[in-house]
Amino acid sequence: METIALIIDNKKISCPPGTSILEAAQQNGIKIPTLCYHPDLKPFGACRLCLVEDENTGRLMASCVTPVAPNMSIRTDSPDIKRHRRNIVRLMMAEHPESCIVCNKGNRCQLRAIAAQLGIGETKLYSMPNYKPLEQANEFIVRDLSKCILCGKCIRADHELVVVGAIDYNHRGFISRPATVHEQPLEKSNCIFCGTCVSLCPTGALSPKTEYYVGTPERESRSVCGFCGVGCSVTMGVVGDQIAEVSPSHVRTSVNGSTLCVRGHFPHEFLKAERLTQPLLRKDGEPAPASWEESLEIVSTRILDIRKQYGPQSVAFIGSSECNNEEAYLFQKIARVLVETNNVDNPRAAYTQAVLRRIDEKTNGRCRKNPLARLENGDAVFILNADPGEMNTVASFYLKRGSRKGVSLVMANPVRTELTAFSSAFLEIRPQSEFELIKGIGALLYEEQATENGCASPEMQQRSLFSDTDLDKVCQAAGVNMDSLKQAANVLRGKKVSVVTGDEIMLAENGAETVNALLELMAMTQSLGKEDTGFYVLAKACNETGAYDMGLLPDALPGRQLLSDDSARKHWEDTWKVRLSPDQGLSAVRMIEEAEKGNLKALYILRENPFEILPDPDRVRKALENLDFMVVQDIFPGELTEMADVVLPGAAFFEKGGSFTNMEGRIQVFEPVVSPPGEARQDWEILGHLTAKLGHSEPYDSVEKIKQEIARVIPMYSEDGRTYGDWIR
């Protein structure tokens, strides 16, 4: 590869052409101060702090926007450079309000840090503060544009990263500011409050609105956001034992980079909500505080008693797609190995997992890895009945960025969404007409392919799904006109197609066929299992994929293996040294039915709310009342905990260690940021104790131990047979 050799601060350096001087310096450990530069944003050259000097020519240049050239001899800290930097910061400071002491940005203010580095105290210029009204009416972002230094990061974040278009510069020169149209407050603009700008702002001009604390958090720790299936990497600022603020972790290899969404960035409600802080035991009809020892003892004895009395089928386990992998694995293991029942489910993600299973079956597991980056850099994307902006906001950023870069989006949805404006073709389809629609598009593309390749091609003949489709019927069924159908097909023609869809396609009776049809469409366009395409299923909960992988299902075993598959079952019997029933366990809906009938006696609910996700809450309530014994392990008190015989207080995602597998198939490991409140414990720890009580010989005394077991027994979670890495192998 061609490289360019140059000298920076007397150090010989070589780097690829096109590298900026700043990047070259940074890669070699040479620090240059910057304010407007950010690796995720296009270089801008506005603040001029990164000036360097070429000794050969004496020319000064902004290193962030100047590419390296052969034989440059760069000084990053000559006396002239330092003098200019000092003056530039002086100019900024003279315009800045003198409110450092009460500023939310506190010690993280980059302007202040640079001023301190350069030794600037008093500017010796008349103070010329550029007062702008403080804006803090909305509940997320405080804007104090008096402190703005016009680095343009917020505007570039808005335009380049999240592609919203809420702000741009207004006016010109000294009075120019990042502004909404007519300088209206943010809530009147189309700002989505993702907060990406806030985390990039180098000064106190943009800060998160927080009720807990003003200032600099005591420490910061990384975690993975648990509010949806994207799995954003976040940095949490901690004060005492409280999360004071959340921001994107700005790790380039993470899903989200510098972006985040309103839920992840500003989880005020979540953090403020009242928590369960100690185990509760029902005594004389009323929940009363109890010790962990006593509570777990009761849980294990009652479950074992009921099993003994009524058989394993009388006990059931409802888990959640919000559980992390370690909890999910342990939970189903408790059910299958220690209670010997397949009655285990995670009902929230039932439809999503159904789609995933269909894909897995059809492709023999070749489509498990779907990096979102492909949406940004591919050819075309077909979005079918899904609203990424609402469900997985950060994923929608990829789509919007892609659209701006020239990726063609074709969207078929019963309603218009934010992405409609980014689509090359939009089809407003009737609900549950997805299958017909794909057939229509497939047929239009198939005709072409058939004529091009000659009808005799055996591959074509196999694609019989599309071969004789009545297009008029398609249009009628989907409620679209022929022209727009053809337009959609034209956009996709000749391109590699990725698919984005959600669980709603499974609402139709022929949902499974819809998935097949989508796979056929991808296969026909030579897009299936390719390096630059993907089949994306939106995931509302943070670990829908992981819950499936861990076998938190009545008919599947860990590692995406079917319970009905004899050899798979045999494998797990050998692994766990137990006998497994080949009979499918109860699904959550069936559990309720069996509880109604009185067949189900004991139910253990981990981090799930059946009233929310199962139909007919009244019926669910009656069924649950019918149980002999109910354990609820959760973090918030509510109707369910009121009804439970035993309540076990667990931990929120940032209070525990473990891993999530996101919608891409990426496995992300995280450590606890803070401890759970009061006597609450990490959920794996509670389950670990329980396994011991239920008679498991090996103690699960660390999350690491569970991880190792998963890596050992589930091949797709092991990397070189050791621990699992970032991606499913």
Partner 1 sequence: MSKIRTQLMLCGGTGCSATSPAVREVFEKELERQGLSEEVQIVETGCNGFCTLGPVMLVQPEGIFYQKIKPKDVPEIVEEHLLKGRPVEKLFYVEPASEETIPTMNEIPFFSHQMLRVMRNKGLIDPEVIDDYIARDGYFGAAKALQEMTPGQIIEEMKISGLRGRGGAGFPTGLKWEFASKSPGDIKYVLCNADEGDPGAFMDRSILEADPHAVLEGMIIAARAINSHKGYIYARTEYPLAIRRLTIAIQQAREYGLLGEDILGTGFDFDIEIYEGAGAFVCGEETALMRSIEGKRGMPRPRPPFPAQKGLWEKPTILNNVETLANVPQIILNGGEWYSGVGTETSKGTKVFALSGDVNNIGLVEVPMGISLRTIVFDIGGGIPNKKEFKAVQLGGPSGGCVPEQHLDIPVDYEEIAKVGAIMGSGGMIVMDENTCMVDMARFFMDFIQDESCGKCTPCREGTRRLLEILNRICEGKGKPGDIEDLEELSSVIKESALCGLGQTGPNPVLSTLRYFRDEYEAHIYEKRCPAKRCVALLKFEIDPDLCSKCGACFRHCPAEAITWKKKDVAVIQKDKCIKCMTCFEKCKFGAIF
Partner 2 sequence: MDEEILTEEALILNDIRSHLTTFEKERGNLIPILQMIQEKHAYIPREAIKLVAEYLEIPVCEVYGVATFYNQFRFHPPGKYPIKVCLGTACHVRSGDIILENFERKLEIKEGETTPDREFSIERVACVGCCALAPVAIVGETVHGHMAPSKVEGLLLRIRIEKEKQEREKLTISGNN
SS3 495: coil
- Out of 149, 306, 380, 499, name the contact with partner 1 by CB under 8 A: 149
Q: How far is the CB of 157 from partner 1 (least distance, A)?
A: 17
Give counts: helices (H), strands (E), the chain.
26, 29
Sequence-ordered strand ranges (E) for 19-59: 51-54
Please say which residue, 3 or 190, places its beta carbon nearer to partner 2. Answer: 190
Q: If residue 545 lies in a helix (H) or strand (E), which one and from where to where?
A: helix 544-549
Q: How far is the CB of 464 from partner 1 (least distance, A)?
A: 44
User: Binders of partner 1: how many residues, by CB under 8 A?
Assistant: 36
Distances (CA, A) of 423 to 68, 160, 286, 404: 38, 17, 56, 10
Please say which residue, 169 or 174, places its beta carbon nearer to partner 2. Answer: 169
In the numeric block, which tokens belong to residue 399?
């789509």
Pick the stretch among 163-171, 232-240, 258-266, 399-407 that binds partner 1 (CB under 8 A).
163-171
**617 in contact with partner 1 (CB under 8 A):** no
- Out of 22, 47, 627, 632, name the contact with partner 1 by CB under 8 A: 47
Q: Which does 415 bind (CB under 5 to 8 A by kind): partner 2, partner 1, none?
A: none
Q: How far is the CB of 196 from partner 2 (least distance, A)?
A: 16
Please say which residue, 170 or 581, places its beta carbon nearer to partner 2. Answer: 170
Other CB atoms closer than 10 Å to residue 390's CB: what's the count?
14
The answer for residues whose C-beta is within 8 angstroms of residue 238's C-beta and 6 or more apart is 217, 218, 219, 220, 221, 244, 673, 674
**45 in contact with partner 1 (CB under 8 A):** yes
SS3 79: helix
Please say which residue, 92 or 411, places its beta carbon nearer to partner 1. Answer: 92
- Pairing between strand 280-283 and 646-649? antiparallel
The answer for residues whose C-beta is within 8 angstroms of residue 685's C-beta and 6 or more apart is none
By CB under 8 A, the residues from 127 to 146 that bind partner 1 are 128
The answer for residues whose C-beta is within 8 angstroms of residue 169's C-beta and 6 or more apart is 150, 152, 155, 176, 177, 178, 179
Q: How far is the CB of 426 from partner 2 (least distance, A)?
A: 13
**65 in contact with partner 1 (CB under 8 A):** yes
Pick the stretch among 59-67, 328-336, 399-407, 425-433 that binds partner 1 (CB under 8 A).
59-67
Distances (CA, A) of 318 to 144, 296, 347, 586, 626: 48, 18, 8, 10, 16
Q: Which does 577 bind (CB under 5 to 8 A by kind): partner 2, partner 1, none?
A: none
Please say which residue, 159 or 601, places its beta carbon nearer to partner 2. Answer: 159
Q: How far is the CB of 422 from partner 2 (least distance, A)?
A: 10
Q: If residue 271 lies in a helix (H) or strand (E), which one and from where to where?
A: helix 268-272
Q: Which does 167 bind (CB under 5 to 8 A by kind): partner 2, partner 1, none?
A: partner 2
Q: Which does 420 bind (CB under 5 to 8 A by kind): partner 1, partner 2, none?
A: none
Q: What is the DSSP string of 346-406?
A: -GGGHHHHHHHHHHHHHHTTTT----THHHHHSSEEEEES--HHHH-HHHHHHHHHHHHHT
Q: Which does 267 bind (CB under 5 to 8 A by kind): partner 2, partner 1, none?
A: none
Please say which residue, 167 or 711, places its beta carbon nearer to partner 2. Answer: 167
Please say which residue, 124 or 172, places its beta carbon nearer to partner 2. Answer: 172
Distance separating alpha carbons of residues 396 and 243, to the nearest angstrom: 27
Distance separating alpha carbons of residues 516 and 384, to the nearest angstrom: 13
Please say which residue, 113 or 128, places its beta carbon nearer to partner 1. Answer: 128
Pick the stretch among 122-130, 221-229, 318-326, 669-677 that binds partner 1 (CB under 8 A).
122-130
Q: Which chain residues interact with partner 2 by CB under 8 A?
A: 164-172, 179-182, 189-190, 421
SS3 450: helix
Distance separating alpha carbons of residues 106 and 466, to the nearest angstrom: 62
SS3 703: helix
Q: How far is the CB of 120 from partner 1 (least distance, A)?
A: 14
Q: What is the DSSP string of 4-23?
A: EEEEETTEEEEE-TT-BHHH
- Out of 40, 55, 94, 187, name the contact with partner 1 by CB under 8 A: 94
Please say which residue, 177 or 666, places its beta carbon nearer to partner 1. Answer: 177
Q: Which does 150 bind (CB under 5 to 8 A by kind): partner 1, partner 2, none?
A: partner 1
For 513, how many CA atoms within 13 A lie in the half-sphere containing its CB? 13
Q: How far is the CB of 421 from partner 2 (least distance, A)?
A: 7
Please say which residue, 47 or 716, places its beta carbon nearer to partner 1. Answer: 47
Q: Residue type at 278?
A: Q
Q: How far is the CB of 190 from partner 2 (least distance, A)?
A: 8
711 and 353 in contact (C-beta within 8 Å)? no
Q: How far is the CB of 79 from partner 1 (least distance, A)?
A: 13
Please say which residue, 95 or 326, places its beta carbon nearer to partner 1. Answer: 95
Q: Which does 190 bind (CB under 5 to 8 A by kind): partner 2, partner 1, none?
A: partner 2
In the numeric block, which tokens belong to residue 299?
């849980």
Please say which residue, 190 or 476, places its beta carbon nearer to partner 2. Answer: 190
- Pairing between strand 206-208 and 667-670? unpaired
696 and 338 in contact (C-beta within 8 Å)? yes
**110 in contact with partner 1 (CB under 8 A):** no
Please say which residue, 83 or 308, places its beta carbon nearer to partner 1. Answer: 83
Other CB atoms closer than 10 Å to residue 432's CB: what's the count?
19
**46 in contact with partner 1 (CB under 8 A):** yes
**75 in contact with partner 1 (CB under 8 A):** no
**25 in contact with partner 1 (CB under 8 A):** no
Q: How far is the CB of 538 from partner 2 (least distance, A)?
A: 25
Please say which residue, 178 or 257, places its beta carbon nearer to partner 2. Answer: 178
Q: How far is the CB of 675 from partner 2 (least distance, A)?
A: 43
Q: Which does 41 bind (CB under 5 to 8 A by kind): partner 2, partner 1, none?
A: none
Q: Which does 189 bind (CB under 5 to 8 A by kind): partner 2, partner 1, none?
A: partner 2
Distance separating alpha carbons of residues 702 and 704, to the nearest angstrom: 5
Q: Which does 181 bind (CB under 5 to 8 A by kind): partner 1, partner 2, none?
A: partner 2
- Out of 152, 208, 502, 657, name the contact with partner 1 by CB under 8 A: 152
Residue ranges of alpha helices (H) inside 147-265 are 153-156, 196-200, 262-265
Please say which residue, 42 or 722, places its beta carbon nearer to partner 2. Answer: 42
**Three-state SS annotation for 556-570:** EECCCEECCCHHHHH
Strand order in the sheet with 51-54: 11-15, 4-8, 73-75, 51-54, 60-62
Distance separating alpha carbons of residues 375 and 498, to the nearest angstrom: 7
Pick the stretch among 82-90, 114-122, 466-474, 518-526 that binds partner 1 (CB under 8 A).
82-90
Please say which residue, 173 or 406, places its beta carbon nearer to partner 1. Answer: 173
By CB under 8 A, the residues from 164 to 183 that bind partner 1 are 168-169, 171-176
Question: Which residues of this protein are in contact with partner 1, per CB under 8 A?
Answer: 43-49, 51, 60, 62, 65-67, 80, 83-84, 87-88, 91-92, 94-95, 125-126, 128, 149-150, 152, 168-169, 171-176
